């Protein structure tokens, strides 16, 4: 309510201003309309007077303007993205100003160190995409929409869990730290720094621990509606990122939300109704088919009478009067569902050059395709900018958001409970009153309620003391509170209900003060300086409480719980944080006639978390640019519109230290002489000399535009060395301490990035553009701690998986360490015999291999399958990523305009482990058990002696215990994870202005879109993208749904 | 103007070519340009052996040494270097090349005749002692006391008679030398159990209960004996530390075809007992032998040596030894059927004509019904 008053006052104020402009009226009146070269009205074009270029007014939403000037004054029309137009004022009320749209990417304005700069004078590698490219697709997380749009930005939408993020990497690997195990092995996320409306934000905050996170796990990025985004810029090389300091070691993504841009207040509504459908689920044999297959399996492979007799002890196989005998429950169907979802966005904006405002309200509702999961977003973003004169500027913004999510009983990204239940035998009766599986109850009856509430006020004021010298100060505050409440009913938790509550708060205050100065001497030499400091304070604290064994399902606490099993209190690890940060940065740019540009920047970051040895980190960068197209000899070549060479070097230093790593952890260790003793925790040796991770990057780039910008190309090649990577070294047991955090690992990434854009038709009714981009990134492990001698194996400690990871110097960093599968033994005679002992190749337990068993390479040649047969194989990180786009547009004056946008992305050369298939085949291991069986007809499997097959014989259930033919640690599951994915297809139709006006609208546009339409891949699993960042395709993942959408844009 | 334009064209071409070349170089020469470490196999500096002193017995194939590769990239190449005695003299006798049997296909105990067994193995020439591709040391059964002097009979091993060697391990990641392995072989022990002989000198071993008594000796015992009653005392016969009612001799005999195995049973007067008395014995499956020949004094088979051929579990083996079971039944007191039996787990390593004699030393077994 207060807000409304607030805004109505501003509107009033704005109107007053307009009137006051009119009050100055003297001399002549000139008015008319500004259009683009196709005749469409342009709103927000600034109109400036004379030599001072004072902004007077701007065009309204229908492109109209009116100015009162003295005759003969020169008037300039300007709009970002269009070529400026100048004319002499005349007393004409029907002036039509046509402005030519600039396609040239060099006319873009980019942001460096929080300051807008023309792209042609920046030396770093970056890609900017406009908000238009991510419209029309409703998404919980805007990051997913960037997939395939920026060369070198590798986004894998590896979870369909609503409100969660996939994995994002800019220019390859920056860490060798893997958390979790088995299917849940995750690379520690190294997401880029997000700078949203000038305020840096840590996107990894919600999932620092990969999967095993506590709290709601709502990514802050999920709280930004795509509809509100004006532009996104991805900074890739160190020259571009070094001004953002240590947080920017993994790249920077700058998101700017929309500004008020209409003199007449307007209301823009976007609504989407979308359908999410689960992908194809695992095929299962139901009821009678299952029973018959199990019996066939037993009769065909039983080794003893005992095996046959066991049939009669398994009533659901043998007893036709048994209640289970005739069931056919589709377990998977109980958990997955097609869902209907919606999102609504209302944007209100208005204002002129002196004052503008905008408010964006967003509601997003998504129900997960796994029942009992979902995500809702409520967001309000309000901003107003006040420029009373040329010198003073003032901006204020408030962003309030609420994300609410249900994770079911899973962790969100993983729904292993659902996966386990989905494999239940169809012969088991479905959930009912008398018999409900606890897994089913746990997944669907658990009440899980998560919310993340955040409010972010932001104020910026700047003043231009002298021409070109401007001082700016920015203050922003963020307060986030995260809650999770879970109630698990008794039936879902071993007959005891329990209540879990999590509360976390996060506060950060951010202040930036900057002075920048730009000046051009003799119209040739331009200098620009930007000097700023940043102050950050951050506090976070999380608490959790678990009340176990509460009385019943109706009474959800707080009384009556069992104190012995209940626990609670503050969370130390990752839950607690306190940091003060102070940074200084200086950047200078010099250019000579915009031909030769030199960029220098330097930044120091201090943090209270750093050890005293490395209190401040230093981030220097240098860049050069040669704009060849400004050279005289190229000016005459009219088919070259742009030719620039860029090169840069820069360093980003990111501290590894935490208080714990630097000073050690201390525990209360009992009392001595009646005094409490505090002693060190022996888990790790404190390392005050822990060095910060240093990323050094070289970049060489080429920008090219030819034939009236019909053809555009950007090429970058880079070498990025990540040194002093944090490495946890296990210590010898005789040392007392368990581990030490050292710094002795290093990775190099090098690669090439290429973006191409081709626009065959840019004028007329029919316009079209085709774009493609690709990035090749190769990573090489440069070193490991000296004493390892060049190899370190990260042993998988879950027996079921044993999919180890090997780090070997000189090779791609993330390789699997597993057994090499060479096929299947066709006949018994194919099994090699040890000439010395006369025994066949065998397991360590003595079981010899036979026909139908997997051929596993006996690398050490001892005729026994053991640990020495493991070998380095595959690379879990993709070598090539990229995307494609195709945009058609057809404009007709009376029919309206049609648009077709297709976006695709691809990933190539990546090893993924199809653990889901392994688990599917392992379902055959126990025909007497309560697991489902799957049809194996489509699998190239050994069936009888003489068969040459890929997969071992699955039906012989007696061999699972001894030789485990489908063991996870063999490269039989390693497959090429290359894919080409049709990300989205959008068909849109915009009504003509007249048609829209008939309904009282300014603009009316309808569109249908589909997302995640199809993935083309040779991969045998369901989705080569829906795998962890370590390339494990576990069945416990959350499938990525397909989405169909109908939407409408209405402007009033 | 025209000239300048042409110049600019040339310049432009040069530019674009230069760019193209630099791009190509960038694509191909990254490894060199960025000075990246080479991709190579891993050879751990911590590669070691679980034990480096070996005491094998000559005349039988022994696999020795467990390499701990510390996950060095396999396959590794192993080479024995610097063979020397304790005083530094080199030796070569360990590496004499002799024919040994190597298996081609698996022996599984179902072979129907000797030829079938022989078809599964072949003679190849190997050094008496070698290291294989897995880092396991093999002393082949072609080794004899004559070819390799074993440790001294008086059990005093002088360091100048002890053999040492080093091992060079390599793969494409480099090489390392594991130093100072020691090998000190025992003399040939033709059979097992060897409890009746002194392993140092191969002569009759003294009775462990009374080692100074030259009239007593140590014996091979049967693995078990059940329900064997003495003919005269009607007491259970037994063999233990105190009593030696049934003892076993494993010894060569003359007059065989070179690969015979014979079973002989003696009474207390060293007179043969007719094997037919052991009426519950499954003679056909006693050992994996062929051409069974039964006489009143012995039962004889044609067999393939060594016995057992491999450690593959067959119906003729118990663990890694061959097993033989003899039995007989009779009517005991009260008309009950008493099944008596005894057996032996044994190995014979040296090819030849061997007989296994079961000697009821003190009292004959009772075969008659009550």
Q: pLDDT band for position B168 (50/70/90)?
A: very high
Q: What is the pLDDT of residue B6?
A: 46
The answer to whether the CB atoms of B74 and A861 lie below 8 A apart is yes
Contact, A986 vs A866, CB < 8 A? no
Indicate if A779 and A796 belong to the same structural domain: no
Distance CA A984, CA A274 (A): 13
Per-residue pLDDT of A307-352, as tens digits, reads 888 888 888 888 888 878 888 888 888 888 899 999 999 988 888 7
Q: What number of CA atoms fall less than 13 Å from residue A525's CA on the CB side?
A: 3
Q: In the block, which residue shows the tokens 């790790």?
A: A684
Task: Give the residue from B13, B40, B41, B42 with the most A CB atoms within 10 Å of its CB, the best one to mutate.
Answer: B42
Q: What is the pLDDT of residue A216?
A: 66
Q: What is the mean pLDDT of residues A797-805?
A: 83
Per-residue pLDDT of A351-383, as tens digits, reads 877 888 889 999 999 888 888 888 888 989 888
Residue A609 clears pLDDT 80, i.e. is over it: no
Q: What is the pLDDT of residue A515?
A: 92
Q: What is the pLDDT of residue A389?
A: 83
Task: Give the residue from B26, B103, B106 with the most A CB atoms within 10 Å of its CB, the best one to mutate.
Answer: B106
Q: Containing H/E element for A505? A: strand A497-521
More confidently predicted of A504 and A54: A504
Indicate if A170 and A218 belong to the same structural domain: yes
Contacts of A352 (CB under 8 A, 6+ apart): A14, A17, A18, A57, A58, A263
B188/chain A closest Cα distance in angstroms: 19
Q: pLDDT band for position A468 (50/70/90)?
A: confident
Residue A121 in any domain: the answer is no
Per-residue pLDDT of A569-594, as tens digits, reads 877 666 777 888 899 999 888 988 88
Distance CA B90, CA B83 (A): 6
Phi-psi label, residue A372: left if phi above 0, alpha if psi -120 to 50, beta otherwise: left
Task: Give the residue from B32, B37, B78, B104 with the most A CB atoms within 10 Å of its CB, the best one to mutate.
Answer: B37
Phi, then psi, of A923 in degrees rounded to 5: -60, -20
Contacts of A762 (CB under 8 A, 6+ apart): A103, A708, A709, A710
Looking at the structure of chain A, the number of domains it has is 4
Cβ of A833 under 8 Å from any chain B Cβ? yes
Residue B19 clears pLDDT 70, i.e. is over it: no
Q: Which residue of chain A has the CA closest to B45?
A: A789
Angle at A54 between CA A52 and CA A59, to 5 degrees: 145
Q: What is the pLDDT of residue A73?
A: 76
Q: What is the mean pLDDT of residues B106-110?
A: 87
Q: Which residue of chain B has the CA closest to A751?
A: B27
- The domain boundary residue, chosen from A73, A102, A131: A102
Distance CA A768, CA A758 (A): 8
Residue A10 clears pLDDT 60, i.e. is over it: no
The answer to whether the CB atoms of B106 and A838 lie below 8 A apart is yes
Indicate if A199 and A300 belong to the same structural domain: no
- Which chain B positions have a beta carbon within 8 Å of A748's beta carbon? 34, 36
Q: pLDDT band for position A50 (50/70/90)?
A: low
Per-residue pLDDT of B318-366, as tens digits, reads 888 999 999 999 998 888 999 999 999 999 999 899 999 999 988 899 8
Phi, then psi, of B229 in degrees rounded to 5: -105, 145
Q: What is the mean pLDDT of residues B90-117?
A: 90
Q: What are A103's two structure tokens?
A: 């396609």
3-state DSSP of A785-808: CHHHCCEEEECCCCCCCCCEEEEE
Candidates A825, A838, A786, A843; CA nearest to A809 is A786
Cβ of B307 under 8 Å from any chain A Cβ? no
Helix (H, G, I), strand (E, B) or coil at A20: helix
Per-residue pLDDT of B258-269, as tens digits, reads 889 999 999 989
The answer to whether the CB atoms of A838 and B34 lie below 8 A apart is no
Residue A546 in any domain: the answer is yes
Phi, then psi, of A977 in degrees rounded to 5: -95, 25
Indicate if A709 and A602 belong to the same structural domain: yes
Q: Please, what is the average pLDDT of chain A?
A: 83
Q: What is the pLDDT of residue A205?
A: 54
Domain boundaries, chain B: 2-33, 48-183, 191-360
3-state DSSP of A539-606: EEEEEEEEEEEECCCCCCCCCCCCCCCCEEEEECCCCCEEEEEEEEEEEEEEEECCCEEEEEEEEEEE
Q: What is the mean pLDDT of residues A505-528?
A: 88
Indicate if A634 and A773 belong to the same structural domain: yes
Tell me which residue in A780, A791, A837 faces B42 most closely, judged by beta carbons. A791
Task: Give the residue from A838, A840, A862, A864 with the most B CB atoms within 10 Å of its CB, the best one to mutate.
Answer: A838
Residue A988 in any domain: the answer is no
Indicate if A345 and A454 belong to the same structural domain: yes
Per-residue pLDDT of A619-631, as tens digits, reads 889 999 988 888 8
Cβ of A114 under 8 Å from any chain B Cβ? no
Q: What is the pLDDT of residue B324?
A: 92
Q: What is the pLDDT of residue B166?
A: 93
Which A residues in the span 768-807 are in contact with B, Cβ-Cβ below 8 Å? 778, 780, 782-783, 789-791, 793, 806
Residue A411 clears pLDDT 70, i.e. is over it: no
Q: pLDDT band for position A134 (50/70/90)?
A: confident
Least confident segment among A431-445, A743-757, A844-858, B39-53: A431-445
Q: Which residue of chain B has the CA closest to A640?
A: B12
Distance CA B184, CA B152 (A): 10
Least confident segment among A49-63, B68-82, B283-297: A49-63
Per-residue pLDDT of B213-236, as tens digits, reads 888 889 998 999 999 998 888 889
Q: What is the pLDDT of residue A84?
A: 73
Cβ of A636 under 8 Å from any chain B Cβ? yes
Q: What are A919's two structure tokens?
A: 């688990």
Indicate if A592 and A608 belong to the same structural domain: yes
- Which chain B positions have a beta carbon within 8 Å of A869's beta carbon? 74
Say what the pTM is: 0.81
Residue A28 in any domain: the answer is yes
Q: What are A439's two structure tokens?
A: 């897994």
Q: What is the pLDDT of residue A1?
A: 42
What percentage of chain A has pLDDT greater than the value 90?
10
Residue A212 clears pLDDT 60, i.e. is over it: no
Which B residues in the span 75-104 are in contact with A, Cβ-Cβ below 8 Å? 75-76, 102-104
Which A residues in the span 732-771 are in contact with B, Cβ-Cβ below 8 Å? 748, 750, 752
3-state DSSP of B60-74: CCEEECCEECCCCCC
Residue B32 clears pLDDT 80, i.e. is over it: no
Distances (CA, A) of A251 to A112, A238, A377, A832: 13, 8, 27, 53
Q: Which domain holds residue A302?
A: 287-327
Q: What is the mean pLDDT of residues A221-235?
A: 85
Q: pLDDT band for position A413 (50/70/90)?
A: low
Q: Which residue of chain B has the CA closest to A632?
A: B8
B37/chain A closest Cα distance in angstroms: 5
Q: What is the pLDDT of residue A217?
A: 67
Q: Please, what is the average pLDDT of chain B?
A: 86
Indicate if A503 and A383 belong to the same structural domain: yes
Cβ of A717 under 8 Å from any chain B Cβ? yes
Mark A822-849 as b/e (b = at least 16 C-beta within 10 Å). Answer: ebbbbebebbbbbbbbbbbbbbeeebbb
Q: What is the mean pLDDT of residues A734-750?
A: 88
B142/chain A closest Cα distance in angstroms: 12
Q: What is the CATH number of the domain that holds A432?
A: 2.40.170
Q: What is the mean pLDDT of residues B262-279?
A: 91
Tell me which residue in B12, B39, B63 faces A810 most closely, judged by beta carbons. B39
What percentage of chain A has pLDDT greater than the value 70?
92
Q: pLDDT band for position A206 (50/70/90)?
A: very low
Q: What is the mean pLDDT of residues A298-313?
A: 87
Tell me which residue in B36, B61, B312 faces A748 most closely, judged by beta carbons. B36
What percentage of chain B has pLDDT greater than the value 90?
34
Q: pLDDT band for position A214 (50/70/90)?
A: low
Indicate if A722 and A759 belong to the same structural domain: yes
Distances (CA, A) of A152 to A67, A133, A746: 47, 18, 20
Candidates A125, A103, A97, A94; CA nearest to A39 is A97
Least confident segment among A179-188, B202-211, B306-315: A179-188
B318 alpha-carbon distance from chain centroid: 15
Q: pLDDT band for position A104 (50/70/90)?
A: low
- Which chain A positions have a beta carbon within 8 Å of B132's beta carbon? 836, 861
Q: What is the pLDDT of residue A99?
A: 77
Per-residue pLDDT of A120-131, as tens digits, reads 778 888 888 888
A790/chain B closest Cα distance in angstroms: 7
Which B residues in the span 8-67 are in contact with A, Cβ-Cβ below 8 Å? 8, 11-12, 15, 19, 23, 26-27, 30, 33-34, 36-40, 42-46, 61, 63
Tell me which residue in A752, A860, A868 faces B27 most closely, judged by beta carbons. A752
Indicate if A706 and A735 belong to the same structural domain: yes
Residue B17 clears pLDDT 70, i.e. is over it: no
Indicate if A481 and A432 belong to the same structural domain: yes
Indicate if A346 and A363 belong to the same structural domain: yes
């Amino acid at each position: 309510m207060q807000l409304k008053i607030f805004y109505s006052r501003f509107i009033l104020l704005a109107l007053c201003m307009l009137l006051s402009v009119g009050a100055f009226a003297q001399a002549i009146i000139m008015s008319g309309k500004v259009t683009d070269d196709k005749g469409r009205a342009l709103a927000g074009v600034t109109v400036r007077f004379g030599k001072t270029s004072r902004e007077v007014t701007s065009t309204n939403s229908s492109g109209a303007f009116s100015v009162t000037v003295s005759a003969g004054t020169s008037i300039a029309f300007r709009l970002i993205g269009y070529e400026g137009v100048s004319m002499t004022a005349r007393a004409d009320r029907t002036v039509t100003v046509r402005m030519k749209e600039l396609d040239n990417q060099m006319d873009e304005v980019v942001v460096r160190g929080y300051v807008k700069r023309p792209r042609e004078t920046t030396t770093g590698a970056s890609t900017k995409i406009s908000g238009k490219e991510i419209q029309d697709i409703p998404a919980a997380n805007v990051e997913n929409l960037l997939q395939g749009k920026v060369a070198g930005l590798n986004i894998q939408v590896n979870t369909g869990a609503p409100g969660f993020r996939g994995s994002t990497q800019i220019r390859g690997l920056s860490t060798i730290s893997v958390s979790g195990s088995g299917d849940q092995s995750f690379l520690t996320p190294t997401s880029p720094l997000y700078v949203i409306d000038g305020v840096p934000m840590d996107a990894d905050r919600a999932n620092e621990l990969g999967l095993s996170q506590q709290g709601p796990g709502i990514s802050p990025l999920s709280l930004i509606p795509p509809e509100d985004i004006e532009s996104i810029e991805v900074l890739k090389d160190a020259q571009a990122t070094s001004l953002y300091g240590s947080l920017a070691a993994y790249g920077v993504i700058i998101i700017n939300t929309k500004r008020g841009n209409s003199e007449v207040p307007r209301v823009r509504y976007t609504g989407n109704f979308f359908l999410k459908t689960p992908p194809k689920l695992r095929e299962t044999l139901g009821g009678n088919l299952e029973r018959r297959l199990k019996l066939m399996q037993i009769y065909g492979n039983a080794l003893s009478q005992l095996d046959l007799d066991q049939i009669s002890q398994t009533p659901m196989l043998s007893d036709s009067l048994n209640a289970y005998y005739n069931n056919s429950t589709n377990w998977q169907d109980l958990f997955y569902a097609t869902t209907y979802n919606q999102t609504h966005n209302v944007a209100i904006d208005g204002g002129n050059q002196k004052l503008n405002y905008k408010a964006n309200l967003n509601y997003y509702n998504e129900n997960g395709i796994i029942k009992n999961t979902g995500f809702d977003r409520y967001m309000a973003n309000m901003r107003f900018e006040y420029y009373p004169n040329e010198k003073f500027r003032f901006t204020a913004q408030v962003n309030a958001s609420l994300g609410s999510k249900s994770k079911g009983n899973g962790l969100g990204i993983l729904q292993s409970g659902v996966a386990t239940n989905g494999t239940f035998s169809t012969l088991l009766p479905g959930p009912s009153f008398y018999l409900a599986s606890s897994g089913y109850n746990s997944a669907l009856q658990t009440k899980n309620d998560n919310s993340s509430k955040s409010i972010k006020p932001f104020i910026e004021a700047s003043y231009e003391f002298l021409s070109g010298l401007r001082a700016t100060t920015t203050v922003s505050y963020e307060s986030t509170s995260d809650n999770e409440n879970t109630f698990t009913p008794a039936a879902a938790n071993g007959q005891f209900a329990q209540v879990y509550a999590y509360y976390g708060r996060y506060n950060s205050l951010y202040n930036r003060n900057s002075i920048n100065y730009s000046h051009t001497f003799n119209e040739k030499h331009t200098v620009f300086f930007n000097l700023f400091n940043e102050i950050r304070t951050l506090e976070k604290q999380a608490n959790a409480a678990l009340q176990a064994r509460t009385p019943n399902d109706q009474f959800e606490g707080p009384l009556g719980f069992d104190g012995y099993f209940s626990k609670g209190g503050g969370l130390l690890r990752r839950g607690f944080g306190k940091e003060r940060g102070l940074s200084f940065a200086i950047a200078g740019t010099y250019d000579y006639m915009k031909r030769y540009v030199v960029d220098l920047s330097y930044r120091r970051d201090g943090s209270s978390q750093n050890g005293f040895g490395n209190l401040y980190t230093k981030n220097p960068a240098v860049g050069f640019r040669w704009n060849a197209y400004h050279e005289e000899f190229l000016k005459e070549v009219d088919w070259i519109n742009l030719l620039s060479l860029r090169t840069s070097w820069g360093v980003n230093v990111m501290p590894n230290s935490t208080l714990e790593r630097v000073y050690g952890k201390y525990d209360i260790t009992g009392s001595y002489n009646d005094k409490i003793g505090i002693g060190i925790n022996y888990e790790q040796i404190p390392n005050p000399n822990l060095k910060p991770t240093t990323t050094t990057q070289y970049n060489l780039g080429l920008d090219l535009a030819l034939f009236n910008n019909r053809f555009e190309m950007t090429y970058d090649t880079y070498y990025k060395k990540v040194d002093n990577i944090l490495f946890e070294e296990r210590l010898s047991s005789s040392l007392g301490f368990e581990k030490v955090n050292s710094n002795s690992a290093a990775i190099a990434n090098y690669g090439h990035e290429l973006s191409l854009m081709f626009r065959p038709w840019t004028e007329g009714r029919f316009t079209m553009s085709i774009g493609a981009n690709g990035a090749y990134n190769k990573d090489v492990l440069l070193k490991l701690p000296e004493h390892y001698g060049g190899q370190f194996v990260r042993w998988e400690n879950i027996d079921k998986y044993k999919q180890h990871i090997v780090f070997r110097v000189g090779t791609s960093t993330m390789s699997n360490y597993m057994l090499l599968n060479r096929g299947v033994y066709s006949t018994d005679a194919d099994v090699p015999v040890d000439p010395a002992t006369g025994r066949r190749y065998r397991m360590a337990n003595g079981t010899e291999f036979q026909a139908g068993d997997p051929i596993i390479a006996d690398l050490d040649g001892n005729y026994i399958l053991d640990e020495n047969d493991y070998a380095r194989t595959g690379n879990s990180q993709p070598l090539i990523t990229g995307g494609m786009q195709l945009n058609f547009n057809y404009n007709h004056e009376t029919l309206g305009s049609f648009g077709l946008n297709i976006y695709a992305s691809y990933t190539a050369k990546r090893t993924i482990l199809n653990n889901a298939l392994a688990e599917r085949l392992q379902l055959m291991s126990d025909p007497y058990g309560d697991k489902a069986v799957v049809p194996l007809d489509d699998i190239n499997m050994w069936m009888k002696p003489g068969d040459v097959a890929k997969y071992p014989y699955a039906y012989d259930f007696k061999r699972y215990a001894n030789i485990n033919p489908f063991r996870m640690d063999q490269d039989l599951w390693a497959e090429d994870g290359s894919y080409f994915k049709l990300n989205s297809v959008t068909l849109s139709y915009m009504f003509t202005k007249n048609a829209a006006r008939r309904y009282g609208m300014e603009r009316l546009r309808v569109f249908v879109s589909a997302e995640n339409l199809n993935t083309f891949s040779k991969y045998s699993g369901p989705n080569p993208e829906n795998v962890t960042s370590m390339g494990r395709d576990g069945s416990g993942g959350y499938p990525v749904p397909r989405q169909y959408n109908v939407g409408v844009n209405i402007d009033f | 103007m025209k000239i300048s334009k042409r110049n600019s064209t040339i310049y432009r071409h040069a530019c674009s070519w230069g760019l193209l070349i630099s791009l190509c170089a960038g694509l191909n020469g990254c490894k060199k340009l960025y000075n990246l470490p080479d991709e190579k196999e891993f050879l751990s500096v911590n590669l070691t052996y679980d034990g480096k002193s070996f005491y094998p017995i000559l005349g039988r194939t022994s696999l020795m040494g467990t390499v701990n590769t510390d996950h060095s990239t396999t396959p590794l190449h192993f080479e024995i270097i610097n063979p020397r005695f304790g005083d530094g003299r080199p030796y070569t006798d360990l590496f004499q090349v002799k024919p040994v049997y190597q298996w081609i296909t698996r022996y599984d105990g179902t072979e129907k005749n000797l030829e079938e067994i022989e078809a599964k193995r072949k003679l190849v020439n190997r050094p008496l002692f070698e290291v294989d591709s897995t880092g396991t040391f093999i002393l082949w059964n072609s080794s004899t006391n004559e070819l390799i002097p074993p440790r001294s009979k008086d059990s005093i091993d002088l360091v100048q008679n002890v053999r040492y060697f080093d091992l060079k391990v390599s793969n494409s990641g480099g090489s390392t030398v594991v130093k100072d392995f020691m090998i000190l072989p025992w003399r040939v022990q033709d059979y097992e159990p060897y409890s009746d002989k002194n392993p140092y000198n191969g002569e009759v071993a003294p009775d462990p209960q009374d080692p100074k008594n030259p009239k007593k000796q140590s014996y091979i015992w049967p693995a078990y004996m059940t329900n064997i009653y003495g003919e005269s005392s009607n007491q259970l016969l037994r063999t233990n530390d105190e009593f030696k009612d049934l003892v076993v001799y494993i010894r060569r005999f003359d007059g065989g075809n070179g690969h015979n195995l014979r079973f002989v049973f003696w009474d207390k007067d060293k007179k043969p007992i007719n094997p037919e008395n052991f009426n519950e014995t499954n003679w056909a499956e006693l050992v994996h032998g062929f051409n069974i020949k039964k006489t009143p004094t012995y039962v004889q088979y044609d067999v393939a040596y060594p016995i057992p051929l491999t450690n593959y579990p067959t119906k003729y083996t118990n663990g890694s030894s061959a097993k033989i079971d003899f039995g007989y039944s009779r009517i005991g007191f009260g008309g009950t059927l008493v099944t008596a039996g005894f057996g032996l787990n044994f190995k014979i390593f040296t090819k030849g004509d061997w007989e296994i004699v079961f000697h009821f030393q003190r009292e004959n077994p009772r075969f008659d019904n009550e």
